[in-house]
């Protein structure tokens, strides 16, 4: 089954670390965006990561329900079914879960996986993110330890963050934080290793100037060497086996040279959302503009059903989003590197 088992997901991450490439982790909110992501990974012959945010889950649950965990479960179950048609592996992941959302979002999803495992199935999601970066590091690590132990008991990988990703996403705005908070220090990276090593496998979103959203060239100052320095500090103290599986947040709009540089420093996952959102929406706008008289019923005219049928423009959106995600696979060098059928 193309939704990766825990063993296959671990093998995916190992292959990326060894091969100096990373997987795009794309946010989805609907059946259409799921299909777009699966098409892209299949077209690129790349494994990949499909992820759901709290806002995405809430949207998927319906405007009158607004239950982020319920919506995430619906999307994940759809992914499990739809992925059966493809010869690549995908892992399912949940994006930033801040401390105030743990009980209402992350815990119910862990319980859903616990129930699936009891039924003889694998976990619903293969990894989850806890974002405690708003907390002092000691408190962040205390909660991360507890969640990592629980995730590990379910064969689920936990992603954690130390340092702050700037900008705004799903209503969580960190645009006002001091600039120095955008850069994880080597000391922080050593502290993360010392806190979490031996509990279970985890991904680490160390920050190096990352910002959510897209900005004009030069507005965001990424410093990938921070990752290199942090890895070196940990390895110098604890050996090569302590090397982190790192995550690059805020990948949309990033310079290709910066992206490629991070691959040599242990980045195995890069989040992409803003760019794929734009790629999805742009052809819809074009379709509406080019077919305005058919889409709208103007001056007692009846319009043209073929142009306002949502399928007519959602197909274009799905195709264009997939094309942008194929580009991400190429940028991250994951294209042509699927391990489907080997593990």
Q: What percent of the chain has pLDDT over 90?
A: 84
Contact yes or no for 56/28 (Cβ under 8 A): yes
Distance CA 73, CA 145 (A): 24
**Known catalytic residues?**
95
Q: Tell me: the pLDDT tens digits for 130-178?
A: 999 889 999 999 999 999 999 999 999 999 999 766 544 555 444 555 5
Strands 168-169 vs 172-173: parallel, antiparallel or unpaired: antiparallel
Res 299: pLDDT: 83
Q: Break the chain into its structural domains and give their ranges.
A: 6-331
11 vs 292: CA distance, rounded Å: 49
How far is the C-alpha of 298 from the C-alpha of 11, rounded, in Å? 57
CA–CA separation, 23 and 267 (whole Å): 9
Which pTM does this prediction carry?
0.93
Bridge partner residues of 49 (DSSP) = 25, 91
Burial class (CB in 10 A: 0-12, 13-18, 19+), 229: middle
Pull the structure tokens for residue 297: 């019923």
pLDDT in tens, 2-59: 899 999 999 999 999 999 999 999 999 999 999 999 999 999 999 999 999 999 999 9
Q: Candidates 3.90.79.10, 3.40.50.2300, 3.20.20.70, 3.10.20.600; correct CATH number of 6-331?
A: 3.20.20.70
3-state secondary structure of 216: coil
Give the contacts of 187 (CB within 8 A, at least 6 positions apart).
Answer: 233
pLDDT in tens, 248-270: 998 777 889 999 999 999 999 99
């Amino acid at each position: 089954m193309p939704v990766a088992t825990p063993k296959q997901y671990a093998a995916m991450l190992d292959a990326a670390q060894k091969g100096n490439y990373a997987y795009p982790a794309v946010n989805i909110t609907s059946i259409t965006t799921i299909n777009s992501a699966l098409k892209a990974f299949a077209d690129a012959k790349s494994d990949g990561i499909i992820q759901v945010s709290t806002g995405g889950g809430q949207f998927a649950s319906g405007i009158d329900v607004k239950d982020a965990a319920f919506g995430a479960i619906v999307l994940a179950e759809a992914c499990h079914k739809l992925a059966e048609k493809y010869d690549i592996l995908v892992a399912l992941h949940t994006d930033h879960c801040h401390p105030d959302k743990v009980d209402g979002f992350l815990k119910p999803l862990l319980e859903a996986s616990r129930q699936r495992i009891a039924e003889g199935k694998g976990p619903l999601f293969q990894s989850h993110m806890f974002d405690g970066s708003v907390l002092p590091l000691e408190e962040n690590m205390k909660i991360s330890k507890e969640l990592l132990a629980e995730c590990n008991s379910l064969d689920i990988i936990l992603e954690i963050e130390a340092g702050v990703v700037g900008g705004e996403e799903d209503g969580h705005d960190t645009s006002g934080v001091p600039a120095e908070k955008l850069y994880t220090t080597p000391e922080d990276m050593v502290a993360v290793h010392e806190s979490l090593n031996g509990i279970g496998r985890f991904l680490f979103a160390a920050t190096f100037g990352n910002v959510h959203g897209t900005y004009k060239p030069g507005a965001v100052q990424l410093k990938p060497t921070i990752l290199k320095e942090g890895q070196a500090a940990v390895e110098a103290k604890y050996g090569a086996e302590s090397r982190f599986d790192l995550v690059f947040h805020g990948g949309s709009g990033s310079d290709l040279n910066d992206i490629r540089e991070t691959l040599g420093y242990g980045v195995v996952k890069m989040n992409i959302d803003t760019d794929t959102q734009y790629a999805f929406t742009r052809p819809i706008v074009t379709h509406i503009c080019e077919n305005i008289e058919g889409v709208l019923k103007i001056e007692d005219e009846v319009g043209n059903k073929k142009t306002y049928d949502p399928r007519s423009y959602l197909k274009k959106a799905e195709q264009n989003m997939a094309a942008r995600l194929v580009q991400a696979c190429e940028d991250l060098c994951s294209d042509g590197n699927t391990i489907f059928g080997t593990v």
